[in-house]
Amino acid sequence: MDKPQEECGILGLWSEGPVDVAGLLHLGLLALQHRGQEAAGMAVTDGKAFLVEKDLGLVNQVFTEERLGKLRLPEARLGIAHTRYSTTGSNLRINAQPLTARTAHGVLAIAHNGNFTNAKLLRDRLLLEGATFQSTSDTEVMLLLLARMGHLPLPEAAAQAMRLLQGGYSILLMNRKTLLALRDPHGVRPLVLGKAPWGYAFASEPPALLLMGAEYVRDVRPGEVVWVEEGRLQSLQALPPEPAPCAFEWIYFARPDSVLDGTEAYEARVRMGMELFREAPAEADLVVPVPDSGIGAAVGYAKASGLPLEFGLYKNPYAGRTFIQPTQELRDLKTRLKLSPRGR
Amino acid sequence: MDKPQEECGILGLWSEGPVDVAGLLHLGLLALQHRGQEAAGMAVTDGKAFLVEKDLGLVNQVFTEERLGKLRLPEARLGIAHTRYSTTGSNLRINAQPLTARTAHGVLAIAHNGNFTNAKLLRDRLLLEGATFQSTSDTEVMLLLLARMGHLPLPEAAAQAMRLLQGGYSILLMNRKTLLALRDPHGVRPLVLGKAPWGYAFASEPPALLLMGAEYVRDVRPGEVVWVEEGRLQSLQALPPEPAPCAFEWIYFARPDSVLDGTEAYEARVRMGMELFREAPAEADLVVPVPDSGIGAAVGYAKASGLPLEFGLYKNPYAGRTFIQPTQELRDLKTRLKLSPRGR
Amino acid sequence: MDKPQEECGILGLWSEGPVDVAGLLHLGLLALQHRGQEAAGMAVTDGKAFLVEKDLGLVNQVFTEERLGKLRLPEARLGIAHTRYSTTGSNLRINAQPLTARTAHGVLAIAHNGNFTNAKLLRDRLLLEGATFQSTSDTEVMLLLLARMGHLPLPEAAAQAMRLLQGGYSILLMNRKTLLALRDPHGVRPLVLGKAPWGYAFASEPPALLLMGAEYVRDVRPGEVVWVEEGRLQSLQALPPEPAPCAFEWIYFARPDSVLDGTEAYEARVRMGMELFREAPAEADLVVPVPDSGIGAAVGYAKASGLPLEFGLYKNPYAGRTFIQPTQELRDLKTRLKLSPRGR
Amino acid sequence: MDKPQEECGILGLWSEGPVDVAGLLHLGLLALQHRGQEAAGMAVTDGKAFLVEKDLGLVNQVFTEERLGKLRLPEARLGIAHTRYSTTGSNLRINAQPLTARTAHGVLAIAHNGNFTNAKLLRDRLLLEGATFQSTSDTEVMLLLLARMGHLPLPEAAAQAMRLLQGGYSILLMNRKTLLALRDPHGVRPLVLGKAPWGYAFASEPPALLLMGAEYVRDVRPGEVVWVEEGRLQSLQALPPEPAPCAFEWIYFARPDSVLDGTEAYEARVRMGMELFREAPAEADLVVPVPDSGIGAAVGYAKASGLPLEFGLYKNPYAGRTFIQPTQELRDLKTRLKLSPRGR
């Protein structure tokens, strides 16, 4: 099975009238790039054509102007997008999302952040019943479950699938007419709803809403299905909420300026730094942050301790995607590449 | 739905021991290139890994040495390949074959020459039952039918599927262990069986067998399922044979040196040329063939009429894949590109 | 030094008014594809911009519609093009032509079929005088010689360079205003002049003229410089003609329908086949041509001998660009790929 | 003429014995990526082969493992590399460096940071003398001047060329045996020398030396030529030093941890922030840095003023290479992409 997708980014939009769906999703993806650098993709529809483009690479490597052009349907009103986190060994083009399938609900596309803990069991059962899978991704299990429930309206089918699936997940789904947002009953992964002049948007983090020109309205509730169809925003509670969000969203995954479930990540980090000083006061001359996610904690520690904050480590913003020959000589050098101390 | 695939080429092999499956399939594909220039693909397995590579382009454009290298499993023993004919409007990467799906029979790959006339009906029924499709190709219907029959051995399931499907088709199928060859009850499209020192091979036309180092054994019979598993070649007659092969195979599609159902295409063309003279004798000084497929008929016409055979038309072997700006000036010139008369 | 370029194809055109120079050169290149399958290139100017595109590959691989689009200057009136023959070991992108340089004559582009036997000597002398070379191609020596003669009009400089260079060559040269055609004093390689409604064209073989909409006027004379500038066709005899053309042009290199220095290649082949029978009559039942270049000779041999002509060898039109793993098994198979006998 | 190259990065190395030249240059380039994101290139030699790879893109886009592999000569001992700054309109592959030419000094490669103010004049004079240029880059003028001085040893020729050229520049030059470093008499652009266990290295900034495993020795002096040949480091003062370095190196161009001509960029920024408070004290509650280059100044301003330092702006590290459709709607959104304020 494919590795868990702890830290992917997802977003989607539904518009009353024609809008540059691909262009807006592209902007939103750029605001979620920190949640996944391995692959990016999007699905766009105008109610008739249903186009998907996805590939390995950063958002701007995948979505060249030429490739965005292919997705620019003049009457486009609906789309979802995904940026995928790199987990060792799963760096395959086939795992890029959105995944799609033609089903009794029409063409479905899905973008998924999180994982299903009982995917293998469900998958084996579906195979025995005659299902065909295209990938080893646990995301595809959701698509197959929905296809089995062609007799139900799509939001009902999604709620039913949520009752079968276990794990922590935020999901966006679409067919040619409807956009759906799903969040597991523990609210492990974030998902927020926004309102724009042209319609509605969903995203893993609020800054992606802003870039698409939408204002934050609220977080999708744990266990909730929210959907937009023919201009109406509707909601049903598929499962009772039992909030248990993942702390790493505030510590590390989310952007510092993201407000998730009511708390800004930067502010949370400052408070954690202050708390760290109270729990572990150090005899020191300076507080030096490890950039970038450690800056908030260092500011908090400096504030609580009264020690001066100084910058002493340079983080190379281009070091992320290096690859190095497996010789000892070069491996030793590599440690100096990403983070280097001042002072030579 | 995708356009009919009248003239694709398919081939496959099963080997007792490790052999360069990708290399052999590549050679065989080159011998079938005339049956399809739009796309090429192959699937290879060693019983564990199951690799597929396919893309738009000629065989040697798709299968660069680098791409063949990706398919070269050291213990490979089984594979199928496909070359796709270009029909207007369907020039899409998603339609390249082999198609694959993970099913209760394990991973299945299929390569298909022909079409199913009742594909739409079966497809709609499968959707209602909860199936998911990846493409609009009628070939995928066969995969879905097989997935539904996971309780049957694969050859039995294939025979059962043949009883549900209508149309003219030759098909090669594989999972990690078994290679299957299917031919519709009318024998509309060709399919031959060969024996090599290392095992068995199937191909649309005999010259592909020879290039893989296999000797022609016999044509697969109309309505027959032939399969190789654990070294044993087996056969079952899924449907009673009602031979009605497509005459265009001998007139135009097949290589002149291919012997199909007992008759060589070149010889058939010569006889058709002789017959043409008897039906329509012309007052003429010369017989000038239109190359390449008209050469046999011209030789026959010259033989029957006693007129001298002369070459008067030059066929540009590189003209096949041209594309021209839609201006009148260039369009007029284009007619001179493919076939030009001697004599200036 | 780069290998001799015995069999490249060159062409060029000069137009009174704006014309689709890139589109016409593309058509002409397709008619010269048999003279070189390794690389293709063209240079186009409108008197201001001077654009060059070239790469490894067949004409239609290099000149995709997108790439032709880059060369489509609305006011283009002048261009040259080249298709390069594959010689072992020299398959480098840097050797694709036209070559260009910015000189005292403005930007110069050159397309060359043939070779200079004293290139190394001239190259060494130029280096001592402070010249800079970009490639190891002997063609570049001609460019450097022209750059040294900035005080002379370009046709005079070309004639002067011809007096320094030895070997067999046909050359097309252009700057932003003038198109020049040069042929060595022995006329080793072919070069013909044509007239079109829009202006003048040159090409290695007449069929390329026809495809560009030009009519054959005459062969460029051995030792002659012909040029077009401001609509006037002019000529000077740089060196006295001593005709000694290469017989392989009629035997093998040229298209059968090309008339070179007054003799059609197909007709020459038929006469050589007749002569072969007179020199070496065989006791035989049939004459079987080896396609494609052997067809004319076989027709001649059959005519002179009275033996029937039969086709017994299939030439795979797609076999040209194969590459095979260096194993004995596959090498043995390769011999069957290109040319296969009928009869299995 | 090509745009000035104010902010490129250059580096080079000479090794006593075989070393992974391409791998080391790749590491060094990553440390100079901030000086240019448009193109990257390198030249490597083992004394016989002389290989160049360059292209548009970030260092890790150009230097994939496959492309580095092409440069990995087992006996490589010498190489230079370049990363190019993006200036509007000059985003052409032909302008990627190193530039090369075959000259009386053998093959020469050059990597250049800066510009020559009298390039046009020198270029016109060289054309009259019979020179051929490949590009419109002023860097090529240096190559041509060196080619003219084949009678002088390369360091002498370089010193002579420096006396003819005007402007601010740092340059690395190599042929098959010698590595040279040149800095203009004003020292406008930085260039430092390092010593490694395997030999010598040069780079625009010290952190690139460290990544290659070299220790900083000293800055190349304004007006100096330093070269390494057969293991000996030598120097000559081509022109008297008149130091006038560019202040933007410390304000903006250089990495904060770079020490140039004795002063660390971060420390300079802190002192400028302190000075800013003295010149322009503000009535404020907070000091909020504009990341990244403004952090040092904000730390200095906070220190001098006693105001608390707070982080209030999020800089999207992936926003750098965006491209946006020219619609008003999307342009308005773009302003929010790169830098977004906290608070909401």
Share of chain C above pLDDT 70, in %: 90
Which band of pLDDT confidence, cut at 50, 70 and 90, is reported for residue A275? Answer: very high
Contact (CB<8Å) C150/D131:
no
Answer for the pair D316, A30: CB distance below 8 angstroms, yes or no: yes
Which of A100, A103, A136 is closest, CB to CB, to B127? A103
- pLDDT higher than 50, residue B314: yes
Mean pLDDT lowest among A69-78, B228-237, C197-206, D135-144:
D135-144
Closest-CA distance of chain B to residue C33, Å: 7
Whether the per-residue pLDDT at D215 is higher than 60: the answer is yes
pLDDT tens sequence across C61-115: 899 888 999 999 999 999 999 999 865 445 567 778 999 999 999 999 999 999 8
CA distance C312 to chain B (A): 8
What does pLDDT average to over chain A?
A: 90
Mean pLDDT over the full length of chain C: 90
Q: Is the pTM value of this prediction over 0.90?
A: no
> How close does chain C come to B235, measured CA to CA in Å?
25
Q: What is the pLDDT of residue A1?
A: 45
Q: Cβ of B344 and C210 within 8 Å?
A: yes
Given this model, what pLDDT does residue C335 score?
Answer: 64
CA B300 to chain centroid, in Å, comes to 28
CA A12/CA A24 separation, integer angstroms: 9
Query: What does the pLDDT read at residue D89?
Result: 40
Q: How far is D92 from chain C (nearest CA, A)?
A: 13
Q: Is B327 exposed, middle or buried (0-12, 13-18, 19+ CB in 10 A)?
A: exposed
Cβ atoms within 10 A of the Cβ of D286, count? 12
Share of chain C above pLDDT 90, in %: 76
pLDDT at A325: 45
Confidence of residue A256 (pLDDT cuts 50, 70, 90): very high
Residues 52-81, chain D, touching A (beta carbon < 8 A) = 58-61, 65
pLDDT higher than threshold 60 for residue A29: yes
Distance, CA of C163 to CA of C184 (rounded, Å): 10
Please choose, from the candidates B92, B18, B78, B23, the residue with its C-alpha nearest in 3D space to the C-alpha of residue B50. Answer: B78
Instruction: Give the whole-angstrom CA distance, residue B29 versus residue B58.
Output: 10
Picking from D280, C48, C31, B185, the residue whose alpha carbon sits closest to that of residue C40 is C31
**Interface predicted TM-score (ipTM) of this complex, two decimals:** 0.85
Say which of C33, C318, C325 has its CB closest to residue B23: C325
**What is the pLDDT, as a whole number, of residue B58?**
87
Overall average pLDDT of the C48-61 stretch:
92
Q: Which tens digit of pLDDT belongs to each residue from C296-306? A: 999 999 999 99
- As a whole number, mean pLDDT of residues B204-231 equals 95
Q: String of b and e for A28-37 (b: at least 16 CB within 10 Å)? A: bbbbbbbbbb
Give catalytic status of residue C8 as yes or no.
yes
What tens digit of pLDDT does each residue of C259-278 get?
A: 999 999 999 999 999 999 99
For chain D, which chains pass the contact test of at least 3 CB pairs under 8 Å? A, C
**pLDDT at res. D316:** 85
Dist. CA D73–CA B168, nearest whole Å: 57
Residue positions of A annotated with a catalytic role: 8
Lowest-confidence segment of A68-82, B164-178, B244-258, D231-245 by average pLDDT: B244-258
User: Which entry of B2, B4, B6, B8 is annotated as an active-site residue?
Assistant: B8
Backbone phi, then psi, for C224, in 5-degree steps? -95, 150
* pLDDT tens digits, one per residue of A308-343: 998 999 888 776 544 444 566 655 666 677 788 886
Q: Please tell me whether residue C100 adopts helix, strand or coil conformation.
A: strand
Residue C183 confidence (pLDDT) above 80 = yes
pLDDT of the residue at A318: 77
Q: Which pLDDT band holds residue D161 (cuts at 50, 70, 90)?
A: very high
List, as one string, the DSSP characters of A256-298.
Answer: TT-EETTEEHHHHHHHHHHHHHHHS----S-B---TTTTHHHH
Helix B265-279 to helix B295-305 angle, to the nearest 10 degrees? 50
Distance CA B315, CA B157 (A): 47
Q: Give pLDDT tens digits for B137-186.
A: 889 999 999 999 999 999 999 999 999 999 999 999 999 999 999 999 99
Which chain C residues are closer than 8 Å to B317 by Cβ?
Answer: 33-34, 292, 317
Q: pLDDT value at position A335?
A: 64
Cα D200 from Cα A209, distance rounded (Å):
52
Is D303 in contact with A303 (Cβ distance < 8 A)?
no
Q: Quote the minimal CA–CA distance from D80 to chain C in Å.
A: 18
What is the mean predicted confidence (pLDDT) over A58-75? 92
d(CA D251, CA A148): 62
The verdict on C213 touching B (C-beta cutoff 8 Å) is: yes
pLDDT value, residue A323: 42
**Main-chain phi, psi angles of C119, to 5 degrees:** -65, -40
Mutate one of A333, A335, A338 to test the D interface: name it (highest D CB count within 10 A).
Answer: A333
Q: Which residues contact D2 (CB under 8 A, 6 or more apart)?
A: D90, D95, D135, D136, D137, D138, D139
The highest-confidence range among A185-194, B287-296, B322-331, D89-98, by mean pLDDT, is A185-194
Cβ atoms of C299 and C289 closer than 8 Å: yes
Pairing of strands A192-196, A215-219: antiparallel
- Decide: B311 and B298 in contact? Cβ < 8 Å: no
* Alpha-carbon distance C107 to nearest alpha carbon in chain D (angstroms): 9
Interface of A with D in 297-336 (CB under 8 A): 299, 303, 308-311, 314, 316-319, 321-325, 327, 329-330, 332-334, 336
pLDDT of res. A6: 66
Which residues have C-beta within 8 Å of that of residue B299, sequence separation ≥ 6?
Answer: B269, B270, B273, B289, B309, C309, C310, C311
User: If you average pLDDT over residues D270-294, what whole number do you get?
Assistant: 94
Q: How many CB pairs under 8 A join A and D?
A: 139
Looking only at the bridges linking them, the beta strands covering C224-229 and C179-183 are antiparallel
Say which of C8, C25, C39, C172 is annotated catalytic: C8
- Reported confidence tier of residue A48, pLDDT bands at 50, 70, 90: very high
| Lowest-confidence pick of B87-91, C340-344, D218-222 | B87-91
Q: Do A330 and D212 touch (CB under 8 A)?
A: no
In angstroms, how far is CA B86 from the centroid of its own chain? 12
Among D4, D6, D7, D8, the active-site one is: D8
Per-residue burial over C91-113, b if 16 or more Cβ lie within 10 Å, else e, is eeeebbbbbbbbbbbbbbbbbbb
Residue C332's pLDDT is 63
* Section B240-263 average pLDDT: 93
Is pLDDT of A89 > 50?
Answer: no
Instruction: Give residues with Cβ within 8 angstroms of D124, minimum separation 6.
Output: none
Residue B332 pLDDT: 62
- Partner A contacted by D257 (CB < 8 A): yes
pLDDT tens track for C3-25? 556 689 999 999 999 999 999 99
pLDDT of B11 above 90? yes
Task: Give the pLDDT score at B102.
Answer: 95
Q: Is residue A34 within 8 angstroms of chain D, CB to CB?
A: yes
* Token pair in block for residue C108: 């110069």
pLDDT of residue A344: 55
Taking an 8 Å cut-off on Cβ atoms, the answer to whether C257 and B330 are in contact is: no
Amino acid (one-letter) located at B3:
K
Portion 179-198 of A in contact with D at CB < 8 A: none
Question: D299 pLDDT band (50/70/90 cuts)?
Answer: very high
Residue D321 pLDDT grade (very low, low, confident, very high; cuts 50, 70, 90): very low
Q: What percent of chain A has pLDDT over 90?
A: 75
Pick B108 or A65 by higher pLDDT.
B108
Q: What is the pLDDT of residues C293-338, one digit of tens each?
A: 899 999 999 999 999 998 999 888 776 544 444 566 656 666 677 7
Residues 139-178 of A with CB under 8 A from B: 143-144, 147-150
pLDDT of residue A95: 77
Q: Which residue has the tokens 């000086």?
A: D35
Per-residue pLDDT at D8 exceeds 70: yes
